[in-house]
């Protein structure tokens, strides 16, 4: 079974940089799209973007393009989400998820979530 394990909770100050990781096992890492979804109080679930680790092809939500960077390290089957210049509105839970293809793209296996708190 596919398993995604994310890095631990983060407490950041406004303006700081965030990088969270997602280690994937149980699949061929380079053959699946891995994406990031965030859950922010009051804004629900938001898809941020996906990466195909096989060739590092990325697709971003235009609302977050330029604000987040998704990357992957094939050698350790790990995907990353990078966000600079954090603000309080970035506070929330960030999930990585394997995205199944076939009827569009949709998350099927999810990580446990990483709580990110941005506060001065």
Partner 1 sequence: DIRMTQSPSSLSASVGDRVTISCRASQNIDNFLVWYQQKPGKAPKLLMYAVSTLESGVPSRFSASGSGTDFTLTITSLQPEDFATYYCYQSFTTPYTFGQGTKLEIK
Q: How far is the CB of 29 from partner 1 (least distance, A)?
A: 19
* Smallest separation, CB 85 to partner 1 (Å): 21
Closest CB 120 distance from partner 1, rounded Å: 26
- DSSP secondary structure string, 4-60? EEE---EEE-TT--EEEEEEEESS-GGGSEEEEEEEETTTEEEEEEEEETTTTEEEE
Cβ closest to partner 1, residue 41 vs residue 75: 41
Residue written as token pair 């309080």: 88
Residue ranges binding partner 1 (CB under 8 A): 44-47, 59, 61-63, 95, 97, 100, 103-108, 110-113
């Amino acid at each position: 079974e596919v398993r995604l394990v994310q890095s631990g909770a983060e407490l950041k100050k406004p303006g700081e940089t965030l990088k969270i990781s997602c280690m994937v096992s149980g699949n061929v890492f380079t053959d699946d799209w891995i994406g990031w979804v965030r859950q922010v109080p009051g804004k629900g679930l938001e898809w941020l973007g996906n990466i195909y680790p096989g060739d590092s092809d990325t697709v971003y939500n235009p609302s977050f393009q330029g604000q987040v960077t998704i990357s992957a390290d094939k050698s350790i089957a790990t995907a990353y989400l990078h966000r600079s210049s954090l603000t309080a509105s970035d506070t929330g839970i960030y999930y990585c998820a394997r995205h199944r293809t076939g009827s569009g793209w949709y998350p099927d296996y999810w990580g446990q979530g990483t709580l990110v708190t941005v506060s001065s």
